[in-house]
């Protein structure tokens, strides 16, 4: 027996708001259909949602949420972020008692150019809180879960509040399965390609001009992992990105650089290790060695924490299932 469709009506009918809700050529409705695996039929202000019972209820709630926001144009980004938040709220409402929820975690607003920046999932919110409460925080999980972006946002916030005097960006120079050969230019130009995701986050959170000025003043510094030995970093917010491509010796060296008044955030995805096959990952090793040390926090992200195009979550899930079968 097929589940009954869920019927929704928005009355009195407001054609402008309905147009904003549906999007150009019903683009927003298609986004909802693809993300939640439902079929939406519309006739004027009346909507009919077909699919699995739990998904149709979620889609109906999503339509109501977006209609409440439809006084203005809804961008694709707003729709996709709204779908992610709704799906996560629904998922964690169904999990067992004791699971962390965003409502239980209070994180102060971050001082960045993005006024609406906050954790989109309970684990992202927990991650932000752990960064604020611990001097060393590890963020481990698949691509698209906000590990690096939220770390950079926390660093910008700390710089704006003057709790640190500089931001230091660190990344191992390991190619993702390719051999690039010798790169031209000085040290900064050579490591630029490896740090591009961190640059993109800084430009988004601080603006291009302000970020450029901070680089000129050395308030934001690029420090290739290979050149970190012997340094002591005081009053700094240090981000080690792509930490799965460090060796255990490099990870130990990095962690022992941290000086007074500093914070460190280490991010990585242990499913995308580009080291030689016989080489252990420093991130995997650090989790085993440091997992029970007080003052060090670990956040493990999952596929439901992916905050990118809705297809990214399905891609990550598909690869995980494929690897399990093999």
- Cα–Cα distance measured from residue 80 to residue 118, given in angstroms and rounded to the nearest whole number: 15
Instruction: Evaluate whether the domain defined by 6-94 bears CATH number 3.20.20.70.
Output: no
Distance of CA 228 to the CA centre of its chain: 26
Give the pLDDT confidence of 31-59 residue by residue, as tens digits.
Answer: 888 888 899 999 999 999 999 888 898 89
Query: Quick one: pLDDT at residue 176?
Result: 46
Phi-psi category of residue 178: left, alpha or beta, with phi > 0 → left and psi -120 to 50 → alpha = beta
For residue 239, pLDDT beyond 70 = yes
Query: Quick one: pLDDT at residue 96?
Result: 47
Give the pLDDT confidence of 194-227 residue by residue, as tens digits.
Answer: 778 888 899 999 999 999 999 999 999 988 888 8
> Which CATH superfamily, name and number, covers 102-325?
P-loop containing nucleotide triphosphate hydrolases (3.40.50.300)
What is the mean pLDDT of the segment spanning 316-323? 82
Read off the pLDDT band of 105 (50, 70, 90).
Answer: low
For the chain, domain boundaries:
6-94, 102-325
Which residues, 6+ apart, have CB-to-CB distance to 40 below 8 Å?
Answer: 29, 32, 33, 47, 48, 49, 50, 59, 63
What is the mean pLDDT of the segment spanning 234-246? 94
Cβ–Cβ < 8 Å for 206, 214: yes
Q: Which of 194, 195, 202 is nearest to 154 (CA)?
A: 202
Q: What percent of the chain has pLDDT over 70?
A: 87
């Amino acid at each position: 027996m097929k589940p009954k469709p869920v019927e929704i009506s928005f009355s009195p009918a407001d054609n402008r708001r309905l147009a904003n809700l549906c999007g150009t050529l019903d683009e927003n409705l298609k986004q909802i259909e693809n993300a939640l695996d439902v079929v939406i039929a519309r006739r004027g202000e009346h909507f009919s949602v077909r699919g699995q019972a739990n998904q149709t209820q979620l889609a109906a709630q999503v339509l109501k949420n977006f209609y409440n926001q439809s006084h203005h144009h809804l961008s694709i980004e707003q729709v996709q972020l709204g779908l992610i938040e709704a799906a996560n709220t629904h998922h964690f409402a169904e999990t067992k008692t004791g699971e962390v929820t965003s409502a239980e975690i209070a994180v102060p607003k971050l001082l960045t150019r993005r006024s609406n920046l906050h954790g989109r999932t309970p684990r992202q919110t927990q991650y932000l809180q752990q960064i604020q409460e611990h001097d060393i925080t590890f963020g481990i999980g698949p691509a698209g879960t906000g590990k690096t972006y939220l770390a950079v946002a926390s660093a910008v916030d700390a710089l704006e509040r003057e709790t640190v005097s500089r931001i230091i960006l660190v990344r191992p120079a390991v190619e993702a399965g390719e051999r690039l050969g010798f790169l031209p230019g000085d040290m900064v130009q050579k490591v630029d390609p490896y740090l591009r995701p961190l640059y993109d986050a800084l430009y988004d959170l601080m603006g291009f001009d302000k970020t450029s000025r901070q680089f000129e003043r050395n308030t934001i510094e690029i420090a290739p992992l290979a050149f970190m030995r012997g340094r002591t970093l005081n009053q700094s917010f240090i981000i080690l990105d792509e930490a799965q491509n460090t060796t255990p010796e490099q990870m130990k060296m990095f962690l022992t650089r941290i000086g007074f008044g500093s914070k460190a955030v280490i991010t990585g995805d242990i499913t995308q290790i580009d080291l030689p096959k016989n080489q252990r990952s420093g991130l995997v090793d650090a989790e085993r060695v440091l997992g029970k040390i007080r003052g060090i926090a670990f956040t493990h992200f999952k596929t439901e924490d992916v905050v990118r195009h809705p297809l990214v979550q399905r891609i990550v899930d598909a690869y995980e299932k494929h690897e399990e079968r093999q």
